[in-house]
Amino acid sequence: MVSWNRSTVTSGDVELAVFELDTPGAAEKRPTVVLVHGWPDTHHLWDQVAPLLGDDLRVISYDTRGYGESTSPEQVQAYTLDLLAQDLFAVLDAVSPDAPVHIVAHDWGSVQTWEAVTTEGAHDRIGSFTSVSGPNLDYLGEWARTNLSRPTPGNLGRALSQVASSAYTAFFQLPVLPQAFFSTFGSEKNWTEFLHAIEGTPRENVSFSPTLREDMVSGLRFYSANIREKLARPNPRPTAVPVLEVVNERDIALRPAIYELTHTHANKLWRKNTRTGHWLPYTNPRYLAETAREFITMIESGASSAPNTIDRARRLGPPQKLGGKLAVITGAGSGIGRETAYALAQLGCEVVLADINTAGAEETATECKASGVLTSVYPLDVADTRAVNEFAETVRKNHGVPDIVINNAGIAVAGPALAASDEQVDRLLDINLRGVISGSRAFGRQMVERGAGGHIVNLASAAAFTPSRDLGLYAASKAGVLMFCESLRAELAEHKIGVTAICPGIVHTNITSTTEIAGTEDEAGQRRRLDDFYAKRGFTPDKVARDIVKAILSNKAVVPVTPEAKFGYRSYRFFPWASRIAARQKLTK
């Protein structure tokens, strides 16, 4: 059970219950972080987060006015954001009068902190602000007006999506009815079941205040006092306080699009998108604590970047859907791996590049760095399972748990299966199949443990569903990848981790020039003719990279890329006999 030491801070006519985490044996001189809760919580929202921060931070929380052990004024106008911001500054002055304080805030706690950080002189008192599931209402009003004043299908779609997500706020502002509803149904048991149903919040080990029912009713004043005024007459103001927006992509109440204009007002803005829901302090306290500590450490040290992808400092443009994520790519020294690295770097991902050919990977890294992202290169032979596992641990230690993993490394063996050597077969399967399985398992375990979702992309091939007498071994390795992806996708779905099998057809990469061809005396000549044929086809790896990015954004299961791959995928499903007849044709002559 977490232990808090209670004190009281006065703000005007309100007495605020302030709590400091009891951390026996911790160093005295530590940066101070204040945790601010939202509706319908109290400081108990942070019971699981606070101990994870206590080793190297002095942790403070408080019950905001209207909640828990703090004063609850009756008048709605006692809950306007300017008064809530004054409360926050009163707490900061009391707990750390001589040094700036870091703030981590959720829901309405974040909304009122936005009011504070946009107050003149706030950067002298607030060292950083980690915002979780709570927008600046002035920025939100400006965003809504912008989208509605330019009624394109995209703008209207984003606006209507947010209106639907926020419909509950209209109910909360009605007279009598919401108060009666929460007075009747606002029990701890009902609230626990509701949170569990909407986003899987645990039924156990979740702390609520004994005053939960009363807090639900009292907190409704926050909505009545602020939402209509702010949305009708927004007054967006800038802030010089460093801000990290933790954008929960599965937030039931707030769509990611509403943060599109934050960068125009916050000149020290970082953003971290994650496939999590609104109640992150309950569902994944460790992830939130690690994210907040990482950001605070970065600000305290004066560094311009930090591990685990909080590195998109002082963004000068609107947010990108993959911006700030960490991507690991194997086989990144050329071809599809290289182009995918370029595409992800241009979208703001930190990229970790691995290849047995480190010189090629370094060339890829040079171009990625030109996009302004952190880029690292590691040597890796994916056929070595131990090396893959060690590589995954190195990435975790040096960069954090990746959000995206592209298992791309592969080779090809053509010619009759009966003519290939055992060594060729072993090497092919070790790289194409076992390498994919090893990478998926090593990084998949990390993603599951972190609990914040992710995406794994494995390179299969159109050969997985296009039988060929000359590509039997290669086809077998890629068919294994395809079925492994389908099965792993089902296994990881409950963890919000997507898995995609990319199935290109004839793509001109250096794999064709290095393909081993069994059962021929003119291997070099046949390889040259095969490479020439692929070159004339003209389908380049950058086009595959674009489809990989689309697959990540849309969480597609199987993606046939080239026209012949799309045809082959459907042909094998609906006319397998035709595929078997076509398989008798020789590719190598």
Positions annotated as catalytic residues are 474
Q: Which amino acid is at 232?
A: A
The candidate with the shortest Cα–Cα distance to 158, out of 278, 255, 245, is 255
- Give, in degrees to the nearest 5, the angle at Cα 427 between 569 and 330: 65
Which region holds residue 468: left if phi is over 0, alpha if psi is between -120 and 50, else beta? beta
Please give the structure tokens belonging to residue 513: 């020039």
| b/e code 508-537 from CB counts within 10 Å (16+ = b) | bbebbeebbbbebeebeebbeebbeebeee
Q: Are 127 and 116 a contacting pair, CB within 8 Å? A: no
Single out the residue of 261, 289, 36 nearest to residue 145, CA to CA: 261
How far apart are the C-alpha atoms of 369 and 384, rounded to whole Å? 28
**Which helix (H) or strand (E) element contains residue 498?**
strand 497-503
215 CB-contact burial (10 Å; exposed 0-12 / middle 13-18 / buried 19+): buried
What single-letter amino acid sits at 210? P
Query: Rounded to an integer, what distance in angstroms lies between the CA atom of residue 267 and that of residue 277?
Result: 27
Look-up of token digits 């995406």: 455
What string of H, E and C letters represents the secondary structure of 502-542? EECCCCCCHHHHCCEECCCCCHHHHHHHHHHHHHHHCCCHH
| 336 SS3 class | helix
Q: Which two tokens stand for residue 362?
A: 């370094």
